[in-house]
Structure 1
Amino acid sequence: MRHDAPLAPAATRTTCPYCGVGCGVLATPDGLGGATIAGDGEHPTNRGRLCSKGSALGETLGLGHRVLHPLKRNAAGGYDRVSWDAALDAVANGFRAIIDRDGPQAAAFYLSGQLLTEDYYIANKLMKGFIGSPHVDTNSRLCMSSTVAAQRRVFGSDTVPGAYEDFDSADLIVLVGSNTAWCHPILFRRMQDNRRERGARLVVLDPRVTATAEDADMVMALKPGSDAALFAGLLVHLTDRGLVDRSYVVRHVAGFDETLANAREIAPDVTSVSDATGLPAEQIAAFYELWASTPHVVTAWSQGVNQSAQGTDKVAAILNCHLATGRIGRPGSGPFSLTGQPNAMGGREVGGLANMLAAHMGYAPDEIDRIRRFWQAPNIARREGLKAVQMLDAVADGRIRALWVMATNPAVSLPNADKVSAALAGLDLFIVSENVLSNDTLEARPHYILPAAAWGEKDGTVTNSERRISRQRAFLPLPGEAKPDWWIIGEVAKRLGFSEAFAYAGPHEIYAEHAALSAFENDGTRDFDIGAHAGLDRAGYDGLRPVQWPAPSRQPGGTDRLFGDGGFFGPERRAQMRPLAAPKLAAQTSEDFPLLLNTGRVRDHWHSMTRTGFSPRLSAHIAEPSVSVNPADIARFGLAEGGFARLASIHGTAILRVVADGGVAEGAAFAPIHWSGETASDARIGALTQPLCDPFSGQPEMKATPVSVAAVSYRFEGFVLARKPFALPAESWWARLAVQGGEGRLFATNLSIDAIATLMRERFGTDELTELIDRDGGSYRCAVLRDGRLLAAFFLAPAGRAPLWDTVKAIFADPTAAVESRLALLAGRDPGGTDPGPTVCACFGVGLNAIRAAFEAGAATAEEIGLQLKAGTNCGSCLPEIRRIRSQAGASEAA
């Protein structure tokens, strides 16, 4: 053994930067600027498992798309590189000038659940505590603020009562408005393990029949907006069956009689619930009986409940049923919010929402005074600020003149997004802290772009959906001049004259202060208390293990569950059951807008793809923006399956590929949110969605926007693969995605074959270009080869007969491989290999053809496919599709 051999780099324990599940990750630097990624078997959340997105994190760490230096907008609208001192001085001077002229209320921060708790804390402290403006809000407003509002109204605090272990021990799990199989796959695997090992039942309530529904015991496709009516009826049923836990209610709950009377008005019987929800009366009765007769019930929900103009009431309706039966805060029982972002919970803790001040404290006079004294901040904000949609309205009408956006992409994600983009462009001072250039918000031309550290480079904490605080640790050096967000904010604070309050030596000191504030004058009167961490030094912080809050000084090991024995944070330490407004949709369809547009996520992408969009593996399953429509509506509106449709609302338009989906109800449509102006020609769904908001939470309705639909025709469809970015003519529809070895685009166009051929010859010349032209058949194919190696490929065919790119993409993936046969390449064949077909399992790169072949060879179940091909054995989010492939194979055999 050589003693001088370099030691292999050690793995760093950190936390995944995607959804609110908060999985533990082991990251090992590869010495080339990237890292290999594995699940942390010791983290209690995921126990070593990772979903497709987490598994592919190593593919998203490249620097080619990064912001690496401070940038200042110049007079021509471009950007010049400037020093950090110049940028920070200008940002501070710009804020000071606007505040002096228009007052603190003219300044605002728009933050993100992608920030670490320490970043969030210092941003909130600067704006609310020292500048004196309450206008700090976050993109988490768009995903879970209705839950926050409901829990505060009902529990007296923003507290998730349960733990993930409840999904392991529940006998009934009810998922409401959550495609958990795709959006929280690691938790869904735990639920499926419970079904298999303990016989738990799974019920899915969702207007759309999703992949989650394919692995459920009961699927209830209720009308949009009718969730509260269903749960009001459940409360009536539980009462009439004598199943209310009167002892628990008497000791711990207020408002039961008023809430029950209200529920009887909304849903007096199963027939009225059937009318409201569109569900068969017998199915409703069966669900009510199942819920009533199963003592250990977890009801979990996500964006389908929250993203509603009545989202707070929907959550309250669920909480009411759990309170009435005492099924809360006990193993296997309770209401559970499945949070969308990795640190949405951390942002709530520090006051990142406009209606919170800090440490779960609001704007009551005693809370303002307490935080003012702790921060020693005489200029502290004294009233609630503007929530996200309101904030951008204030930007549009000139009330807010300076805005700093951190780690988010509001020009894509906010409703009525075209108006948002226009508003941002009119600011007197517009700053963006960002780590990637592929962000539509940058198209609004901020005055300064500040290079922020990315995942893998920054150090801090995040809190997941079960209140578990985990460390996110750096394992890569900061590239270029990138800096952590907390450092950038702190330097601006110092330049504004607040040096003493922002003299932090590192994130460990910020976290310790945050913990101390949570415990300050608390004595058990507030839910959020991590006082046990107030004395952490750098070593203690570096070694911090995952822990669920509250973790007060007397209980450093944390707390699994709350409220099993009461102890709420409302008046007299009681919960307050809440009557509901009459359930209704915020907007109705009409002759001009006959469909309700539902929005959501696909399996392998995240938000606006500024991270996942750089992973070839994650781009393989669903490659282009689409709209899913019921087959009856495809016929009704003259659409073509696989063709294109233009969706339009009163706010904007999009053109999307049409997918026939019987799981989408007639009169509805579903479109994913991920594509932006950077990744598609015309697919920004935020441009269509309406800015109608819940009156309590301010969360916008993103699940039911009235839209029109019309067919769009193109003469040709095809794909292009290139080593470098390849811009298509403006008339073309396209979707860009990462492929191994370069960039790919799927496209449709009305340009002629001759025009396309001319474009390719001008782009690449004729010496290295091999063409195959069939004008009569309407096809054009070309390959650019240099020294026998493929540099680019362009395939075009008549609309409806789009060429498949899987084989050509596989050849393109190896930039060093020699192409043995140009004719075979242009025919779409790989003479030296097999066609894998479209990707089904992103974790292990298993294609459709391999799975079909395994079934044809005798495999009988998805589990056997896993043993042979590994497909479905990691996160399991592809298991519903594998089972569907098996069913289709069986149907073919029967035919």
Structure 2
Amino acid sequence: MHPAPPQRTVRTTCAYCGVGCGVLATPKPDGSVAIAGDPDHPANFGRLCSKGSALGETLQLEGRRLHPTHHGVRTDWDTALDLVARRFSETIAEHGPDAVAFYVSGQLLTEDYYVANKLMKGFVGSANIDTNSRLCMASSVAGHRRAFGADTVPGTYEDLEQADLVVLVGSNLAWCHPVVYQRLAAAKAARPATKAVLIDPRRTMTADIADLHLPIESDGDVALFAGLLAFLKSSDAIDTDYVEAHTRGFGEALDAAGSLDIAAVAAATGLDAREVRSFYELFARTEKVVTVYSQGVNQSVRGTDKVNAIVNCHLATGRIGRPGMGPFSITGQPNAMGGREVGGMANMLAAHMAIEDETHRGIVQRFWNAPQIADRPGLKAVEMFRAVADGRIKTIWIMGTNPVVSMPEADFVAGALAACPFVVVSDVVERTDTLKYAAISLPAAAWGEKDGTVTNSERRISRQRAFLPLPGEARPDWWIVCEVARRMGAAGAFSYSGPAAIFDEHARLSAEANGGSRDFDIGGLAGLDADAYDAMAPTQWPRPAGAATGPANGDTRFFASGGFYHADGRARFVPVEVDAPAEKAGAKAAPGGLILNTGRVRDHWHTMTRTGLSPRLSAHIAEPYAELHPADAARLGLGEADLAVVVSPRGSAVVRVLVSGRQRPGSVFVPMHWSGQNASGGRIDALVGSATDPVSGQPGLKATRVDVRRFEAAWYGFAVTAERPETAGFDYFALARTGGGYRLEIAGLAALEDPALLAEALSGMPRSAILAYHDRTSGAHRFAAFDGDRLVAAVYLSKEPVAVSRVWAASALEAAHAPRERYLLLAGRGGAGRPDPGAIVCSCFSVGVNEITAAVASGRAAGVAEIGRLLKAGTNCGSCRSEIQGIIDGAGLERTA
């Protein structure tokens, strides 16, 4: 635990998704931290999702990186920083500035991002700085720039609440942005006439709120929205005044879409023609429409065209920049937007200036008093690691991200880093799949310890404030970058007193030679001293100097009356060509081949370096899985809870089978969170190809051709252990935290000659001290080891997937066990004093399916609201409400609110 600071409540901002929720953090005398939603923050008004609610459970120092190391050996800061600066300087001198690179993260604060971008583009003189945000929202940036002339998100969260129709495209809002989902759900409840349409290959939990679900084929979005544009024209739904006054290129965009009638759209998207017509008619007749899109749009080799196909429909109808209207890109990371603001991508300059614009380059170079300025785009993420592999990049610094797990062709990335002459990694945790390739590792400050700003998806800048002391020798990322810059000869330009000084420079640069010519202007926040910066309230931009809250009318929306950022002030319609969707393009890899779709689960985040620390967050989904349609599962000979091998030409993964009618036939969904630290074969991005969108450089992470086959396990196992178990040697494992210890799924390809040896290894106790049960006929073996009245380990082995309640077995680690009760563990069932809650449905309050079922069966609850009042399930973030309703529906009861 951190040493306990003085007890006071600190207003800060959540470390997870782009919603940007306000958090109240209160350190306690025992070293724990109480977490609550900030009722005054305009992003969430006190709501938090399951991940945000569990932030206090992720702050322990176990597993933290606390000291610099050189090839794994502890060293001091001066030695480490001197070596980093020397190796970067030597590489630049010998091979030129493009031989070095930074790969950074949407987990960085804006101030961290700013100094890293400044060092690379203004003082190294290369644009080889890119970010893991390239993997999640680069296509939105490119689409915005093509259409608007700037990377501008026109609207706000309030628009979702004020719209009469919300179209959700490739966005599982209920699981990935739960607080915004709850705002929308509440708005729909208050105004039942509000409609929602979900466009997604999967019937995700977000479909619970949808009046219409369109299970579109992978990459069918361009055809769907190009067809919509043509339908709007034929339905006389075009706002000709807006088009003529504020846009260019409508005719060309319409010509590109002109031949797409509803039948052609249905054929190109795999949708029912009647459903396509219903959606088109609803869009055409509803004025107040917001289209929310996320990774299902962006993570595609046609991502930028998808964005522009959506934007074209809003420009054509003039539904942009007014309350309840507009295209809305919702970002994945807490500071993806802040990174865009400071130019933390290879093809951008700071303050939304364009690297290809000579005037903009001059503004930035003069303002920084930089010796040089990058004059062309650098290498985007996929290109960057290719350049590492082929030797063009000889030195790379990776900050706050785990590309050996998250990049496409992740095994290729690992090989590139293994061969790179000099790799630096700044991170907060001791073990990641990327850290083992680092020559120098640097201990960075984590959430709760660092101080700065982040910007959310609606352009709202909020403070992340420190409420914990820096542990060990951990330091903020901005300080680490500035210390390297000083050692590289740029001390004068990087002599900041703290993050307030960096933010002030960032704000002043945004206003430099602006005068309304650029969208990003926070000059009104320049000049804040340390106290004013510390007290800064959440603020939406633009915030030019002299404006109290934004533009003169007080509205922070853009483009209701034009005012685009192309030289002529007009938006651009972008003609988009319609290709066959992924499922129709070419033959499948082999009989039984499927389209792999990757994404997130409700309670985990990125590669689980933070959420994996919380037992509560692993209780809902604790191992990687492949979600298959029942028809595909039957065809492949796979049953519920089997293990399956998912294979592409680039790699393979082993995951648990989940058979679900929510999945589109012909496709398979596998989440992206599992790394080599918590699963033997869960790194799903090792299978994904590195083909990218030609405009944005964003890889297509949702349309990889794969084969799926049975993992021919000779035995399966499940264990709970009080100490972290050794996982080396298992053909399959998935490890997760649980209350009191760990839970472990295991399987092997060869028969176990002596199952008791495995029990000894997992418990650390001799077999003479282990209770055992054997059923030689069925091949079932169960073991339980105790230290006094405490369970050390329970191990369940079977020839079939183990049928033991995971939640019940894990709870045994936290209970005292009288001798006569211990054999209940071998029986796989609890006594009356410890009933089995069943699989966790509500992570916020740890409510299981058995508890909900019992409440329904007893007549104590007949609806979601009643379950909430009785058990609290679904009353915090609400992400589980659709699952609760499914349990109620399964009991044959009528749906109630």
What TM-score results when the alignment is normalised by the length of structure 2?
0.96
Instruction: State the match for 1:810 in structure 2.
Output: 811
State the distance in 2 between where 1:326 and 1:95 align. 50
Contact 2:716 2:747 in 1 (8 A): yes
Larger CA deviation: 312-321 vs 758-767 = 758-767
Show structure 2 runs of 5+ residues with no match.
none
Contact 2:589 2:706 in 1 (8 A): no
Instruction: State the match for 2:772 in structure 1.
Output: 771
Deviations 1:467-516 (A, max 9, x none): 00000000000000000000000000000000000000000000000000
Rate the CA distance shift 1:7–1:628 in 2: closer, same or farther, 3 A.
closer
State the distance in 1 between where 2:267 and 2:662 align. 21
Q: 1:66 aligns with which of 50, 64, 67?
A: 64
Answering whether residue 467 of structure 2 is matched by residue 467 of structure 1, we say no
Answering whether residue 205 of structure 2 is matched by residue 211 of structure 1, we say yes
Contact 2:730 2:746 in 1 (8 A): no
Deviations 1:510-552 (A, max 9, x none): 0000000000000000000000111111011000100111100
Answering whether residue 583 of structure 2 is matched by residue 581 of structure 1, we say no
Instruction: State the match for 2:888 in structure 1.
Output: 886
Deviation at 1:781, TM superposition (A): 1.5
State the distance in 2 between where 1:97 and 1:429 align. 11
Note the 1:17-416 alignment, pairs <5 A: 17-73=15-71, 79-199=72-192, 200-265=194-259, 267=260, 269-363=261-355, 364-416=357-409
State the distance in 2 between where 1:313 and 1:731 align. 44
Contact 1:783 1:826 in 2 (8 A): yes
Deviation at 1:357, TM superposition (A): 1.4
SS of 1:764 mapped into structure 2: coil
Note the 1:799-838 alignment, pairs <5 A: 799-814=800-815, 821-831=821-831, 832-838=833-839
Contact 2:796 2:802 in 1 (8 A): no
Deviations 1:569-605 (A, max 9, x none): 0121111111012234466452427211011111111
Deviation at 1:799, TM superposition (A): 1.2
Deviation at 1:7, TM superposition (A): 11
Deviation at 1:751, TM superposition (A): 5.0
Q: Residue type matched to 2:347 in 1?
A: N
Contact 1:628 1:670 in 2 (8 A): yes
Answering whether residue 7 of structure 2 is matched by residue 9 of structure 1, we say yes
Contact 2:756 2:767 in 1 (8 A): no
Show structure 1 runs of 5+ residues with no match.
1-5, 74-78
SS of 1:203 mapped into structure 2: strand
State the distance in 2 between where 1:408 and 1:8 align. 31
Q: Residue type matched to 1:794 in 2?
A: V
Deviation at 1:224, TM superposition (A): 1.1
SS of 2:434 mapped into structure 1: helix
Contact 1:33 1:476 in 2 (8 A): no
State the distance in 2 between where 1:285 and 1:736 align. 47
Instruction: State the match for 1:76 in structure 2.
Output: none
Over the residues paired in the alignment, what is the CA RMSD in angstroms?
A: 1.6
State the distance in 2 between where 1:129 and 1:768 align. 66
Larger CA deviation: 375-384 vs 45-54 = 375-384
Instruction: State the match for 1:641 in structure 2.
Output: 640
Q: Residue type matched to 2:62 in 1?
A: G
Q: 2:560 aligns with which of 554, 557, 564?
A: 564
Deviations 1:615-669 (A, max 9, x none): 1000001111111111111122222222111111111111111111122222111
Answering whether residue 865 of structure 2 is matched by residue 871 of structure 1, we say no
Contact 1:640 1:711 in 2 (8 A): no
Rate the CA distance shift 1:70–1:319 in 2: closer, same or farther, 3 A.
same
Instruction: State the match for 2:497 in structure 1.
Output: 505
Larger CA deviation: 800-809 vs 425-434 = 800-809
Deviations 1:137-194 (A, max 9, x none): 0000000000000000000000000000011111100000011111111111111111
Contact 2:444 2:477 in 1 (8 A): yes
Instruction: State the match for 2:441 in structure 1.
Output: 449
Deviations 1:419-468 (A, max 9, x none): 0000011111100000012311113x210110000000000000000000
Instruction: State the match for 2:425 in structure 1.
Output: 432
Deviations 1:374-429 (A, max 9, x none): 00112211110010000000001000000000000000000000000000111111
State the distance in 2 between where 1:513 and 1:781 align. 64
Contact 1:718 1:803 in 2 (8 A): no
Deviation at 1:760, TM superposition (A): 2.9
Contact 1:771 1:781 in 2 (8 A): yes
Deviation at 1:747, TM superposition (A): 1.4
SS of 2:616 mapped into structure 1: coil
Contact 1:11 1:26 in 2 (8 A): yes
Deviation at 1:232, TM superposition (A): 1.0
State the distance in 1 between where 2:459 and 2:621 align. 32
State the distance in 1 between where 2:800 and 2:893 align. 29
Contact 1:16 1:342 in 2 (8 A): yes
Identity among equivalent positions (%) equals 53
Deviation at 1:875, TM superposition (A): 0.8
Q: Residue type matched to 1:583 in 2?
A: D
Instruction: State the match for 1:794 in structure 2.
Output: 795
State the distance in 2 between where 1:109 and 1:807 align. 46
Deviation at 1:817, TM superposition (A): 6.4
SS of 1:571 mapped into structure 2: coil
Deviation at 1:8, TM superposition (A): 7.7
Deviation at 1:234, TM superposition (A): 1.1
Q: 2:529 aligns with which of 518, 537, 541?
A: 537
What TM-score results when the alignment is normalised by the length of structure 1?
0.96
Rate the CA distance shift 1:411–1:579 in 2: closer, same or farther, 3 A.
same
Deviation at 1:729, TM superposition (A): 5.1
